[in-house]
Amino acid sequence: MRLKAIKLAGFKSFVDPTYIPFPTNMTGILGPNGCGKSNTIDAVRWVMGESSAKNLRGESMTDVIFNGSAQRKPVGKASVDLIFDNSDGTLRGEYAAFSEVALRRQVTREGQSTYYLNGTKCRRKDITDIFLGTGLGARSYSIIEQGMISRLIESKPEELRVFIEEAAGISKYKERRRETENR
């Protein structure tokens, strides 16, 4: 599975609708300090259900909305689409048959967050569920940011185990067991 493109609008510094294609298996994003490189990664994590504003380098969840600049007024909502190529069938369940899966999250100034899967409104849990066991996800090892290697090295055994369990593909079974036990 591969991330094919990101569409952003009103998200952090990307006030105007912006389409970023990832046409090959390896893409580098270059640019001067503050141009928005890390913001694109924040956007990916945000759509995959990141619920901590701190992990997105903000104070509150609405800090992801473009908050104005010298030339531009703030806007009322942020929205990001992630378009995945699923032609290898990595995403299972009801999405296995789709060669392309599009996820969208948007948030308004009132703090109302909405998620969509291939254009249909869904819950945050539907988004996190389809990634369980794939190695992708808001807090998975597929995004390695500054300082993460040292955090991993210094992490407590139980924190490290969460990463190993996701890499081994057993976290989805643990999640299902938790759900069954809570029924």
Residues annotated in a binding site for ATP: 32-39
Give the list of residues 6+ apart from residue 158 with CB closer than 8 angstroms, or none. none
Amino acid at 112: Q
Q: Which of these ranges, 1-9, 36-44, 82-90, 108-116, lies near ligand ATP under the rule CB under 6 A?
A: 36-44
The distance of closest approach from Cβ of residue 66 to ligand ATP in the complex, given in angstroms and rounded to an integer, is 4
Strand-pair partners of 3: 84
Q: Judged by CB under 6 A, which of 24, 25, 33, 60 binds ligand ATP?
A: 33
The residue type at 154? E
Kindly give the interhelix angle for 157-168 and 171-182, rounded to the nearest 10 degrees: 100
- Does residue 38 bind Mg ion (CB under 5 A)? yes
114 binds Mg ion (CB under 5 A): no
Q: Which of 38, 128, 134, 142 binds ligand ATP (CB under 6 A)?
A: 38
In this structure, the strands spanning 100-108 and 18-21 are unpaired
Using rule CB under 5 A, residue 55 touches Mg ion: no
CA-atom Rg of the chain in angstroms: 17
Q: Which residue from 13, 55, 142, 155 is in contact with ligand ATP, where contact means CB under 6 A?
A: 13
Q: Which residue in 95, 114, 94 sits closest to 104, CA to CA? A: 114
Number of neighbours of residue 171 by Cβ within 10 angstroms = 20
Give, as ranges, the residues between 61 and 80 that touch ligand ATP (CB under 6 A). Answer: 63, 65-67
User: Measured from the CB of residue 131, what is the shortest distance to ligand ATP in angstroms?
Assistant: 23
Q: 57 vs 109, which CB is nearer to Mg ion?
A: 57
**Contact positions vs Mg ion (CB under 5 A):** 37-38
